[in-house]
Amino acid sequence: MIINSKIKLALHHLKIGVIAHPTDTIYGLGCLANNPGAIQTIVNLKKRDIKKGFILLASNISFLMPYIDSNMNSKLLKKLAKPTETPTTYLVPKSEELSPLLNGDNELLAVRITSDPLITYFCENTGSALISTSANLQGRKVASSTLELKRYFGNDLAFELPPNMYNSEPSKIINLITGERLR
């Protein structure tokens, strides 16, 4: 991936607010997982039910460790850290200190490790996992262009990178403890 001025600008805005950006799955809204004000902005922008929680995206398990139960079995941690062929979100035990903004009413936390170069760039240059959610209002289809994004959110996002052509399919969701596939 070429780090151009738009990507650098997106990183700058990500450090302080909410941006739209392509992910390894769908076009999404994102912010730093350690920025409660930006997380609340996403909730407000999407008119999202606070009970739903979010997916945390990271390029490395180390960015997820502050949010995961520190007593989690080492075998499960190794499985979580292992790359998957297709984007896979795992439901894992959450840290006791986890903000309810991140997991809503859920007992488990949704996390995904990705090798996506943009997400890697963001994580490594912020030292943080990212909040990830689809670029849409709750119950509406995901924006597939910056024009649709503007229709949903007006000028309320800090910055927008355009979607990639491959952004279309959400990830699988698997409970890491039971192995049950939920999506």
- For residue 183, the model assigns a pLDDT of 87
| pLDDT > 70? residue 100 | yes
Summary mean pLDDT of the chain: 94
- For residue 167, the model assigns a pLDDT of 60
Provide the Cα torsion 14, 20, 21, 26; round to 10°: 140
Confidence bin at 165 (pLDDT 50/70/90): confident
Sheet-wide strand order for 130-134: 159-160, 19-22, 27-32, 130-134, 55-58, 108-113, 88-93, 172-175
| pLDDT > 70? residue 152 | yes
Q: Give the domains, in start order, of the chain with CATH numbers.
A: 5-175 (3.90.870.10)
